[in-house]
Amino acid sequence: MKVNAIPVAGRRHRARVTIENILVAVDFSDSSKAALRHATQLADAFDAAVTIVNVIEVNNGWLNYGGDPFPVLDEEARENRKRTLQRFARECGALRSWRYIARLGKPAEEIVEAAREVNADIVVIATRGLSGLKHAMIGSTTEEVVRMARCPVWVVPMKGAL
């Protein structure tokens, strides 16, 4: 039996994707420069707001158990990092007024939390390939963000990747 497929009303149905808030995670590497460039293109295409986040990794030692005895130093570190983020973004060609967040903690957890806080529609993050053979293509932080994020994650490959 032969079946003929007839398109409904001769139209294609297209999914509409809306991106209003983009979170881009950077670590000041060349790979994160590429992620920032991709985020810029997405922002331009969707007229979206961009938040750039960087995480200052906290030592997993005794500070994680007893709280933070140095809140003034932490705030100073965050403010210094925000200024560094602004310079980094300008060097990468960012011309818009973007939001900058510097956080202290475990990178993947803090990136995912920042995405939730800014109501990100997408996270843009680069691969690194610095964590050994297991993570040679994606990077352990990127892998964790992909697993934990509640929104889509746009993974930008490291230089020379496919």
Show me where the domains of the chain are located: 45-156
Architecture (CATH level 2) of domain 45-156:
3-Layer(aba) Sandwich (3.40)
Share of the chain above pLDDT 90, in %: 43
Mean pLDDT of 81-100: 83
Q: What's the confidence (pLDDT) of residue 123? A: 98
Query: Could you give the CA distance from residue 127 to residue 142 in angstroms, rounded to a whole number?
Result: 6
The answer to whether 94 and 124 have CB atoms below 8 angstroms apart is no
Task: Read off the pTM.
Answer: 0.77
Q: Any bridge partners for residue 55, and if so which?
A: 103
Residue 56 backbone phi and psi in degrees, to 5: -85, 110
Query: Could you give the CA distance from residue 100 to residue 92 in angstroms, rounded to a whole number?
Result: 15
> Tens digit of pLDDT for each residue in 32-85?
899 999 999 999 999 999 999 999 887 655 455 555 555 556 778 888 888 888
